[in-house]
A = this chain, B = another copy of it.
Amino acid sequence: VVDLSSQYGKKLKISVFGQSHSAAIGVNIEGLPAGIKLDMDDLRAFLRRRAPGQSELSTARAEDDAPEILCGLVNGVTCGAPLTVIIRNTNALPADYEKIRDIPRPSHADYAAHLKYGGHQDVAGGGHFSGRLTAPLCVAGGICLQILRGHGVDICAHILRIGSAGDQAFDPVGVSAGDFGAIRGNPLPVIRKEAGEAMRLEILDAKEKGDSVGGVVECALIGLPAGLGNPMFDGIENRIAGIMFGIPAVKGIEFGSGFKGSERRGSENNDAIYIEDNEIRTRTNNSGGILGGITNGMPILFRTAFKPTPSIGVEQESVSLSRKENVTLQVKGRHDPCIVPRAVPCVEAAAAIALYDAYLDK
């Protein structure tokens, strides 16, 4: 369902635009049905979950991130025309980043972008590659999530692991809206509160050392009808993976029992089918709710791996592109020691976009 680089979707086309320090960032959403009332307070609350500057765990860059709707709504109701939302960049400090033009940061997109755009890429704050672009993604996803909820679908992600501190996993069969509420009530989005405390310590330890740490986000979708998605290259797994790798720092994804399941025998991994009260379900859910690319009515479950933020205060090796020589680099500026907590709503947003698109495409 991918098209051009900053666009996603088939029935619903999301076009994300902006750079970390451009006048504004935003998203154009085409294909929303007409007649849907949007709850802007709910959307702003969703956006606050990924906003920076909220705690000791994230970057000090404070952005108000107030979404401004340019078009597509009439009296708060979708009118069938494209919905465009922008967020002004108010707290930009481009000067921080000039050095990057010459000395690419290890494990950042700097060098690859330099090659691709012939040196014309916007280097300030990572330009179009910045994690800041997940704000408009969350605008689009927050809207899709609202609408999906109106259809009885709910989506929730939690931090499964940060560094070595792990939370328990969702119950693949019984995961419910009650679980979601509990997660959202915790300071960090986790199932077991104690897991969150261990994660906090892991992040603060990394922060203190000028280092960063990665993690894994697990996401569940419940209430989706069976029969969504298509075979082969347009399955729900392809679609979800296609959008998740659009979130910076994602380096892996697995559905259901995933890599673990690949170690098993079929007799262990197969999900036995049964009928009860006229409803067909499976006793286990190693398939993560998707078979042959199509939803089977069980919860959809997947996990995404986030690499540790590459921006660290520790001195690193790099090169000067202009002088063609080896140098050392120490990245300064405001950075998240761990983007995983703020990535949780991004994963939910991306999942909401992918599934609402699939929902409209049925």
Whole-angstrom CA separation of A107 from B262 in the bound complex: 13
| With A80-B116, A121-B79: A5-B22 Cβ-Cβ less than 8 Å | no
Contact at A266–B309, with CB atoms within 8 Å? yes
Whole-angstrom CA separation of A212 from B268 in the bound complex: 10
Whole-angstrom CA separation of A57 from B17 in the bound complex: 38
Contact at A274–B35, with CB atoms within 8 Å? no
Contact at B2–A233, with CB atoms within 8 Å? yes
Whole-angstrom CA separation of A13 from B164 in the bound complex: 43
A interface residue count range (under 10 / 10 to 19 / 20 to 34 / 35 or more): 35 or more
Question: Could you say which residues of chain B place their CB within 8 Å of the CB of A117?
Answer: 34-35, 79-80
How near does chain B come to A65, taking the closest CB pair, in angstroms?
A: 15
At the interface, yes or no: A326 with Cβ under 8 Å from chain B?
yes
| With A70-B24, A317-B283: A216-B271 Cβ-Cβ less than 8 Å | no
Whole-angstrom CA separation of A209 from B318 in the bound complex: 54
Whole-angstrom CA separation of A259 from B254 in the bound complex: 10
How near does chain B come to A228, taking the closest CB pair, in angstroms?
A: 8
**Residues 202-228 of A at the B interface (beta carbon under 8 Å):** 206, 209, 211-216, 226-227
8 A–B contacts from the bound complex (CB under 8 Å): A3-B10, A4-B13, A19-B81, A79-B128, A111-B280, A233-B243, A233-B246, A266-B312
Q: Which 3 A-B pairs have the closest CB atoms?
A: A109-B292, A252-B254, A5-B230
Contact surface of A with B, Cβ cutoff 8 Å: 1-8, 10, 13, 15-19, 22-26, 28, 30-31, 34-35, 68-72, 74, 77-84, 86, 104, 106-109, 111-113, 115-122, 124, 127-129, 133, 161, 163-164, 206, 209, 211-216, 226-227, 229-235, 237-239, 241-243, 245-246, 248, 250-259, 261-275, 278, 280, 282-283, 286-288, 290-297, 305-312, 314, 316-319, 324-326
